[in-house]
């Protein structure tokens, strides 16, 4: 009888000892408290994956509407047909020039038909222009899985790798996205930035003289196509602020900028890369969702009032936002520098600009970055198959 009464107690003791040993092993393998906190973090992520956030369907539908779609379509159709006349007025007038090549819209044939192409050389460039533009437009559609395929589609040339691994599609171990905010002038983060395997810089922001604050290493220059257009005005299309062999990636602000691309792509030493239009659409939808969410929360106004407060069809994501999204797809760990603002800091560390561009909603983008750090699965439009890398914001 005595032995039978002891067995349940003995079983309880054994279970308690086993549980204690398991907890001890978890704490030791996780390097103490830090490891235990990470275990809790991973548990929270798994819970969030099982119970994804509920998005507002009305906001999702509104964010999915591209107010610039009709304008894009008209531009593509006109340019493919060789009609450049609509680009001669207003702010687009300067975009008729691409280096030594010029579209002569004033010349007419004997039949009175406008002659847009000035020379056989330009005609050959125009054929390439049409081909790139048509391909881009065919792929201009929403695809939520595009994030998972970025490492395979963007084809950024890898440096400092052996020949056997030169075609590797593996992600970069650590990536730094360096914004241009004036808050960087109050930091000494240059060394930390340069320690990353892959460093992305924005819109040709200069590093000379600011190395202590922003570092000097550059693996990819990420720009909007206006930057390339300015470079294309030079005879050699020179656009090498970080060295002749640093790749340049751009998103197309205007369809006519494909002309700058074909002109410069024949002579530019550094690879010129164009973002996937499916990736562009994904970024546009995400930013618009965060913008309208903040607008309704802060103002209490209806959705119809949003466009009037955000430049309507001109509303766009910033170069920094898309560069961060790019890093999420090609990097195992992402660090963000120089994003944010301060009343005592310039808008850009390398210029005297103080005002923000109205066509961007920086506050909404800051909300996105916060979610990338704290709750990435709350970000809309991205496929559940995509695994977000850890993100750290340095201020």
CATH number of the domain bearing residue 342: 3.90.1480
- Residue 92: the pLDDT is 44
| pTM listed for this prediction | 0.79
Does residue 105 sit in the same domain as residue 214?
A: no
- Residue 311: the pLDDT is 77
Does residue 93 sit in the same domain as residue 123?
A: yes
> What Cα–Cα distance (Å) separates residue 113 from each residue in 82, 106, 110, 388?
11, 10, 7, 54
Does residue 214 sit in the same domain as residue 355?
A: yes
Does residue 218 sit in the same domain as residue 339?
A: yes
Strand-pair partners of 64:
none
Does residue 99 sit in the same domain as residue 229?
A: no
Print the SS3 string covering the chain: CHHHHHHHHHHHHHHHHHHHHHHHHHHHHCCCHHHHHHHHHHHHHHHHHHCCCCCCHHHHHHHCCCCCHHHHHHHHHHHHCCCCHHHCCHHHHHHHEECCEECCCCCECCCCCECCCCCHHHHHHHHHHHHHHHHHHHCCCCCHHHHHHHHHHCCCCCCCCCHHHCCCCCCEEEEEEECCCHHHHHCCCHHHHHCCCEEEEECCCCCCCCHHHHCCCCCEEEEEHHHHHHHHCCCCCCCCCCCCCCCEEEECCCCCHHHHHHHHHCCCCCCEEECCHHHHHHHHHHHHHHHHHHHHHHHCCCHHHHHHHCCHHHCCCCHHHHHHHHHHHHEEEEEEECCCCCCCCCCCCCCCCCCCCCCCCHHHHHHHHHHHHHCHHHCCCCCCCCCCCCEEEEC
Does residue 316 sit in the same domain as residue 350?
A: yes
Domain count, the chain: 3
Asked which of 88, 116, 136 is the last residue of a domain, the reply is 136
- Residue 86: the pLDDT is 61
- Residue 335: the pLDDT is 97
- Residue 345: the pLDDT is 59
Does residue 122 sit in the same domain as residue 261?
A: no
Residue 100 domain boundaries: 72-136
Does residue 125 sit in the same domain as residue 21?
A: no
Does residue 260 sit in the same domain as residue 374?
A: yes
- Residue 221: the pLDDT is 94
Does residue 198 sit in the same domain as residue 277?
A: yes
Does residue 62 sit in the same domain as residue 76?
A: no
- Is the Cβ–Cβ distance between 290 and 364 less than 8 Å? yes
Does residue 214 sit in the same domain as residue 231?
A: yes
- Residue 240: the pLDDT is 79
Q: What φ, ψ does residue 281 adopt, rounded to 5°?
A: -65, -40
For the chain, 395 residues long, give each residue's pLDDT as a single digit of tens.
Answer: 444 444 444 454 444 545 454 444 433 333 333 332 232 233 334 334 445 666 788 999 999 999 889 888 988 998 888 777 665 444 443 344 444 555 544 433 334 433 345 566 677 878 888 999 999 999 999 998 999 989 887 666 554 443 334 445 689 999 999 988 878 888 899 999 999 999 999 988 888 888 999 899 999 999 999 888 888 877 778 787 888 889 999 999 888 889 888 888 877 778 889 999 999 999 999 999 999 999 999 999 988 899 888 877 788 899 999 999 999 999 999 999 988 776 655 666 556 666 666 668 989 999 999 999 999 989 999 999 999 999 999 98
Q: Considering Cα of 233, then 234, then 237, then 238, what sign does the dihedral take?
A: negative
């Amino acid at each position: 009888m005595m032995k039978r009464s002891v067995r349940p107690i003995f079983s309880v003791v054994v279970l308690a000892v086993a549980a204690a040993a398991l907890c001890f092993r978890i704490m030791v393998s996780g390097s103490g408290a830090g490891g235990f906190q990470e275990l809790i973090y991973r548990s929270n992520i798994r819970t969030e994956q099982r119970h994804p956030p509920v998005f507002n369907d009305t906001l999702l539908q509104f964010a999915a509407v591209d107010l610039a779609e009709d304008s894009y379509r008209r531009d593509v159709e006109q340019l493919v047909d060789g009609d450049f006349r609509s680009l001669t007025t207003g702010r687009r007038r300067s975009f008729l020039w691409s280096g030594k090549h010029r579209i002569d819209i004033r010349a007419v044939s004997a039949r009175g038909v406008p002659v847009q192409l000035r020379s056989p050389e330009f005609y050959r460039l125009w054929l390439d222009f049409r081909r790139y533009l048509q391909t881009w437009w065919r792929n201009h559609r929403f695809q939520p899985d595009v994030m998972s395929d970025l490492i395979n589609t963007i084809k950024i040339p890898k440096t400092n790798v052996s020949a056997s691994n030169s075609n590797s599609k593996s992600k970069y171990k650590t990536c730094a996205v360096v914004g241009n905010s004036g808050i960087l002038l109050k930091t000494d983060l240059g060394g930390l930035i340069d320690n990353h395997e892959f460093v992305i810089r924005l819109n040709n922001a200069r590093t000379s003289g600011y190395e202590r604050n922003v570092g000097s290493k550059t693996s990819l220059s990420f720009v909007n196509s206006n930057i390339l257009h300015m470079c294309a005005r030079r005879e050699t299309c020179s656009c090498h602020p970080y060295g002749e062999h640093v790749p340049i990636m751009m998103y197309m602000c205007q369809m006519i900028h494909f002309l700058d691309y074909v002109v410069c792509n024949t002579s530019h030493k550094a690879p010129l890369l164009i973002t996937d239009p499916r990736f562009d659409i994904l970024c546009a939808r995400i930013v618009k969702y965060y913008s309208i969410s903040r607008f309704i929360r802060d103002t209490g106004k209806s959705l119809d009032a949003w466009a009037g407060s955000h430049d309507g069809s001109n509303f766009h994501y910033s170069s920094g936002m898309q560069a961060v999204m790019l890093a999420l797809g090609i990097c195992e760990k992402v660090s963000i520098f120089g994003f944010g603002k301060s009343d005592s800091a310039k808008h850009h560390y390398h210029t005297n600009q103080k005002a923000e561009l109205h066509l961007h909603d920086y506050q909404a983008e800051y909300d996105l970055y916060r979610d990338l750090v704290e709750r990435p699965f709350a970000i809309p439009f991205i496929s559940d198959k995509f695994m977000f890398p850890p993100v750290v914001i340095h201020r």
